[in-house]
Structure 1
Amino acid sequence: MSMREINFDGLVGPTHNYSGLAHGNVASMSHEGLVANPREAALQGLEKIKSLMDSGYAQGVLPPQQRPDLGALRELGFAGSDARVLARAADEAPQLLRAVCSASSMWTANAATVTPSVDAPDGRVHFTPANLQSSFHRYLEPTTTGRVLASIFADEACFAHHPALPATPAFSDEGAANHTRLAGEHGEPGVHLYVYGRQAFGGDGIAPRRYPARQTLEASQAVARQHGLGDAQTVFAQQHPEAIDAGVFHNDVIAVGNGPVLLYHERAFRDEQGTLDALRERMASPLIPVRVPVEAVSLDDAVASYLFNSQLLTNPDGTMTLVVPGECQEREAVWRCLQDHLLAGHNPISEVVVKDVKQSMRNGGGPACLRLRVALSEAERAAISGRVLLDDALHGELVAWVERHYRDRLAPADLADPALASETLTALDELTGILRLGSVYPFQLG
């Protein structure tokens, strides 16, 4: 069975803005109120995936959410025409207006957790949309996310879709941002590392003090059960509370893995040695841990540069390429670590590629946040519906679509503009035609 990993990147939405909505995400909070450039953000994302496609890596795209979410505002008591709803929200509850205009679905690492068919008892690829209940602006996403995934992965013989977990604090689920699959190669049975910040029931009470822990152990266990994974296939590890308090709101800000390689910071896991031992015990192939000590890269530098929020990609010869944000070059300690510790070390990482995703980075999302990893067999790739696998023609159409519909300037005050809402619906309606997805948005369903 020829298994290949496809990185599905989320297209940046037309309402990309800097509202500072994510508590605990230092970059998001520190750039609150700045003027954003949605067009540049979307084009930066498209340039990244086009360059990776040109280098031989399989790429797909996922559409953004419908924003502003006027339905959510109406559920919260704002009535009248669209213009009236937007005006009242801007006047009476500007924080809610900012939330329903968030373009955070671009970070598809949060969209869902995926288990490949080689690991599932029924031989199908399993999907669970993340409930994202820890943040109101992201809690709005799972219904449309589930609809989009079901439209693309529609063949029930190949794909299984599960409901998002109950949207309660006990089952707070942030998707694949806290999930890493490790195996010798994509077609080999893998071990699933789920990283959580807190336990809802029981536990010893050790937790971060400054910022909230978003993922619960109970949520991770529930997703593993949905997908039919057993004890021999799973490791549940607690994220280090110090990392969360430094701004590591998800595990993918402090660790990244692919194949047998786990690149991680010394402060990634509360029980570093126990986590490594559990992975080694379960993996069929030897684990290759690549540890970055705090003396080389501080937690502050890790968060500011998003070194670990990089894409770790496997090459045909077994070597690996690390795709890092440009901010890694701006931190001397980080850049030195990349050159002297990673590239010069005894590990498969042989190349570092720098990408400019500044518009995303200012909102707290690096290259790894922008993609959902899906390992598929040849038959499963053939069963994908729609036109979401990137090629030159699709890339060209998406660039032209962005240039037609996206603004090059968007301040928080612009979110109340009724014209923006209208522009967005027009753009999304056209996008579903380009991607051949059918009706996936609320406004298309009536």
Structure 2
Amino acid sequence: MKSYEVNFDGLVGPTHNYGGLSYGNVASQSNSQQSSNPKEAALQGLAKMKALMEMGFQQGVLAPQERPDVAALRNLGFSGTDAQVIEQAAKQAMPLLVASCSASSMWVANAATVSPSADTADGRVHFTAANLNCKYHRSIEHPTTSRVLGAMFADQKHFAHHAALPAVAQFGDEGAANHTRFCREYGEAGVEFFVFGRSAFDTRYPAPQKYPARQTLEASQAVARLHGLSDDGVVYAQQNPSVIDQGVFHNDVIAVGNGEALFYHEDAFEGTEQMLAELTTKLTKCGGNFKAICVPRSKVSVEDAVRSYLFNSQLLSRADGSMLLIVPQECQNNERVWQYLQELTSSGGLIREVKVFDLKQSMQNGGGPACLRLRVALNETELAAVNPGVIMTPPLYGTLTQWVDKHYRDRMTETDLADPQLLLECRTALDELTQILKLGAVYPFQIN
């Protein structure tokens, strides 16, 4: 039976704005309060989805959240009509209104951790929604994320869904941004690679000094247990605390893996040699041949990696066994990074081609190609059981671009977030979107 890695990209929401909400994310903070363009952001994301679809890759779409999140504001003491809640928040606590309007759910690499059926004890694909409790504006996402994923992967014969872990610091979980899977074939058993920034209980692990380490070892271990993964099929590794302090808030800012390959920066991890040896041994037992592609600091500094998002790229397997790297335009604009990529692709190694995409709107808010997609390995039967409304096709692409043109603003500032009309616009758009994607009622305004 054939199997596939399906990329489900996050559709950028109508309130896409530069709130500067993510401490530790250099791009997010650097562009705080600048004017954004939601329409352009959504169309840039859709263009990437369309391009990958046309290259022959399986591509899907994941719906955004309802924003502003009026229910979250009510939980914080604002009251009255929806319009009055927004007005009160704007006058009394503008940072809370900005947080309730964040379109950060576009970065669906943080939506959940996914384990394919070949790895799990019960032979189903397992999803655990990420609690994202390190940042308030993201911690409010997981209830809707769970409903959307449940509507996309509804067949309980093939798919299992777990609630987010307890929303406390000890179980900080950032989803697939700190999770990679290695395998010979997507439908065969593989090795799941969990990367954590700190341990909540074990003081032997060093911690960063400047920025928070968002993923805990304990959260990663809990997800592995929930998914029924075997000890032989799991490797845990710690991020280098010093690179977290340089803006590497998730592992996918400093490393990316796919198939049998890990593409990573020399300074990405603690205990790199031991980690690579464990990955090699365990993947060999699964019939695979692990390949490590290390980018030396002498070629690309951590600063250049963070500025360009070289590693926040998509590493895609081609039929001939080679790999394609999808990078943001910022890589091409960085002389040292682009020189390295030219050397890499001309060396005759595994990564033989680089394709560049303009994702400026997402990049300025702190997310690149890898942030925008959730990878789900599926066999043919499982793919057939996925809600067909979320699988990208040429007609769906055309419908979604028309939907964006109809509903999205082309300019968004902090002042715009206080406009009660924005909430009505967003709800109208999302109500139509759930019909397009055949999701049913997944948003609070549709349920309550």
TM tier relative to shorter chain: over 0.9
Give the % identical residues. 60
Equivalent residue letter for 2:446: Q
Deviation larger for 81-90 or 147-156: 81-90
Match for residue 176 of structure 1? 176
Match for residue 91 of structure 1? 91
Whether 1:330 and 2:326 are equivalent positions in the alignment is no
Q: Which of residues 308, 321, 324 is equivalent to 2:324?
A: 321
State the superposition RMSD in angstroms.
Answer: 0.8
Return the alpha-carbon distance in structure 2 between the equivalents of residues 181 and 150 of structure 1.
Answer: 22
Return the alpha-carbon distance in structure 2 between the equivalents of residues 412 and 337 of structure 1.
Answer: 39
Whether 1:226 and 2:251 are equivalent positions in the alignment is no
Match for residue 67 of structure 2? 67
**SS at 2:131's partner residue?**
coil
Return the alpha-carbon distance in structure 2 between the equivalents of residues 95 and 60 of structure 1.
Answer: 33
Q: Which of residues 433, 438, 441 is equivalent to 2:443?
A: 441
Match for residue 136 of structure 1? 136
Runs of 4+ that moved beyond 4 A = none
Equivalent residue letter for 2:305: A
Shift of 1:81: 1.6
Return the alpha-carbon distance in structure 1 between the equivalents of residues 275 and 96 of structure 2.
Answer: 40
Alignment check: 8 A CA contact 1:254 1:268 kept: yes
Q: Which of residues 419, 422, 432 is equivalent to 2:421?
A: 419
Shift of 1:84: 1.4
Whether 1:216 and 2:216 are equivalent positions in the alignment is yes
Equivalent residue letter for 1:425: R
Return the alpha-carbon distance in structure 1 between the equivalents of residues 60 and 364 of structure 2.
Answer: 24
Match for residue 260 of structure 1? 260
Equivalent residue letter for 1:333: R
Alignment check: 8 A CA contact 1:111 1:130 kept: yes
Alignment check: 8 A CA contact 1:165 1:171 kept: yes
Q: 1:252 to 1:315 in 2, by over 3 A?
A: same
Shift of 1:92: 1.0
Return the alpha-carbon distance in structure 2 between the equivalents of residues 205 and 121 of structure 1.
Answer: 30
Q: Give the TM-score normalised by the residue count of structure 2.
A: 0.98
| Alignment: residue pair count | 445
Superposed counterparts of 1:161-172, under 5 Å? 161-172=161-172
Return the alpha-carbon distance in structure 2 between the equivalents of residues 148 and 15 of structure 1.
Answer: 19
Shift of 1:189: 1.1
The runs of 5 or more residues in structure 1 that have no matched partner are none
Alignment check: 8 A CA contact 1:6 1:376 kept: yes
Match for residue 204 of structure 2? 204
Return the alpha-carbon distance in structure 1 between the equivalents of residues 265 and 202 of structure 2.
Answer: 27
Return the alpha-carbon distance in structure 2 between the equivalents of residues 354 and 106 of structure 1.
Answer: 20
Match for residue 380 of structure 2? 378
Equivalent residue letter for 2:386: I
Shift of 1:279: 0.2
Match for residue 299 of structure 1? 302
Alignment check: 8 A CA contact 1:61 1:389 kept: yes
**SS at 1:387's partner residue?**
helix
Q: 1:349 to 1:205 in 2, by over 3 A?
A: closer
Return the alpha-carbon distance in structure 2 between the equivalents of residues 2 and 118 of structure 1.
Answer: 13
Deviation larger for 370-379 or 78-87: 78-87
Alignment check: 8 A CA contact 1:288 1:347 kept: no
Return the alpha-carbon distance in structure 1 between the equivalents of residues 194 and 397 of structure 2.
Answer: 33
Whether 1:431 and 2:433 are equivalent positions in the alignment is yes
Alignment check: 8 A CA contact 1:343 1:351 kept: yes
Return the alpha-carbon distance in structure 2 between the equivalents of residues 125 and 184 of structure 1.
Answer: 18
The runs of 5 or more residues in structure 2 that have no matched partner are none
Shift of 1:386: 4.6
Match for residue 50 of structure 1? 50
Match for residue 345 of structure 2? 343
Match for residue 273 of structure 1? 273
Alignment check: 8 A CA contact 1:290 1:347 kept: no
Return the alpha-carbon distance in structure 2 between the equivalents of residues 247 and 387 of structure 1.
Answer: 37
Equivalent residue letter for 1:226: L
Match for residue 354 of structure 2? 352
Return the alpha-carbon distance in structure 1 between the equivalents of residues 290 and 387 of structure 2.
Answer: 35
Match for residue 39 of structure 1? 39
Deviation larger for 345-354 or 417-426: 345-354
Return the alpha-carbon distance in structure 2 between the equivalents of residues 96 and 393 of structure 1.
Answer: 38
Q: Give the TM-score normalised by the residue count of structure 1.
A: 0.99
**SS at 1:177's partner residue?**
helix
Match for residue 157 of structure 2? 157
Shift of 1:231: 1.1
Q: Which of residues 285, 290, 298 is equivalent to 2:288?
A: 285
